[in-house]
Structure 1
């Protein structure tokens, strides 16, 4: 197959290394040209593997790269997404980790999935992302991006208060451990663990869901993707913690943060048998009878 595919992998544990070698074996046997980026180099010496060309920056890739494969778990997928989001190249996730909603192709299905990908038998899902901006430029370049979620939460044991406005209209002052602003993609991540709703990944909506609110009538709310969400943290503490996926920064209380949907989209690959609803059933064991 006359294809060029780039691989991204993160820290090379024994399991991840074995999975990555299996991916390289499969692609190489199919005649695919392979480029490889190890984001945290250690372990296996892939610089001695003649089957791959190592690269560091996205600009190092040739123009004919047709797809990027993230090899690892969802954390690896998130980091890969942030590195390649501006390239416009579809991303697929090969799961060598645990749950794997984003890295939804099991390494055991790699051979079949590779055949489907290389023959064009897949669908693309354009996923929305969030960006957060602050007047103090706390995140560098004026804003930071997230594929899953942006959270604002307490930095110590004291409860945090967060005043929220949507398009300038007052929504609520939350008294809680924190607040999650989630994309549809992130609806199966942190949002799910605190009781938020699950959205199909192509949905443009934004979910606002509190963490352990001090008011039992408070519930998650879904707003349109065009909404601008203004957050003003307060409370007894002088600082709070803001996260964008796995990145975190301490910010002073009273600062005003604005969250909106990014103009960028991440194009992800779905193959037959690894669609979103199949992943939900398999990962969450829907329909399984625990008595059996």
Structure 2
């Protein structure tokens, strides 16, 4: 079996679990492929991995049966960008904080490896957004799992986002910005701005304004078969766009369209992984300090 691994730094307390993971994989004769950045960190942290193969993410194509993402949800978003249209199944191991997407805890890594080798898992397919502009603004990675955002730059005043739905004018959002979220991203930035929570396999996008000037403007749910297009007006002449964890500043002459991506992200789901359980545990639903 071939397994690619990408990750970020981890705590001293987590290190024994990471070392045990590599020991287990090596005992099983696994061919391990590390992202170049994670290999550098493992060497610095003194973790023995015995990997002979390194891939330079996200430019270099790697060949693996599964990809392990070790970190938080941000690391998993990076891993989705590495995988792209290959749709290699991804396992999210949570060595970070919240972990909506990276749901495998460090003390369950050995159980996860056993499940992979014995095919005791299901594939959870998640829809992506695809962003297109009149020039390449995301360095050849125009897709994202969570959301696409248009926001004012740090020092500018509010912006106006003229928004069109399938070519028909929808609204001019006078606000700090606008979020277009997938169902997966509904528990992220959109949620903090008052957007609804969607179950992961709903066929929808969420349009969520960020601090709108008009208080009667509210989040809106649309079908993910729709195409959105945007024209932005800003006194500074530019604005900020972000696709998952990748962001850059563009000028107001940039025209942007958004649609559902043709391929999907494929996440490994173990038998005890349940979205409703994740909601309750991560958002403290049903928890009352009075009880």
- State if a TM-score over 0.5 links the two structures: yes
On the 8 A contact 2:14/2:106 being kept in 1, the answer is: no
Mapped partners of 1:86, 1:177: distance in 2: 33
- Map residues 235-250 of structure 1 onto 2, 5 A cutoff: 235-250=234-249
On the 8 A contact 1:16/1:71 being kept in 2, the answer is: no
- Map residues 1-292 of structure 1 onto 2, 5 A cutoff: 3-11=1-9, 14=12, 17-30=15-28, 32-39=30-37, 41-45=39-43, 49=48, 51-57=50-56, 59-61=61-63, 65-141=64-140, 144-155=142-153, 156-292=155-291
Query: Which structure has more strand as a fraction of its residues?
Result: 1
Q: Deviation at 1:167?
A: 0.2
- How many corresponding residue pairs? 286
Q: Deviation at 1:146?
A: 1.3
Secondary structure of the corresponding residue to residue 55 of structure 2: coil
TM-score of the superposed pair, with normalisation by structure 2? 0.89
Ranges of 4+ aligned residues in structure 1 off by more than 6 Å: none
On the 8 A contact 1:135/1:256 being kept in 2, the answer is: yes
- List alignment gaps of at least 5 residues for structure 2: none
- List alignment gaps of at least 5 residues for structure 1: none
CA spacing shift, 1:50–1:235, aligned 2, 3 Å: closer
On the 8 A contact 2:227/2:259 being kept in 1, the answer is: yes
CA spacing shift, 1:289–1:5, aligned 2, 3 Å: same
CA spacing shift, 1:19–1:244, aligned 2, 3 Å: farther
Mapped partners of 1:50, 1:230: distance in 2: 46
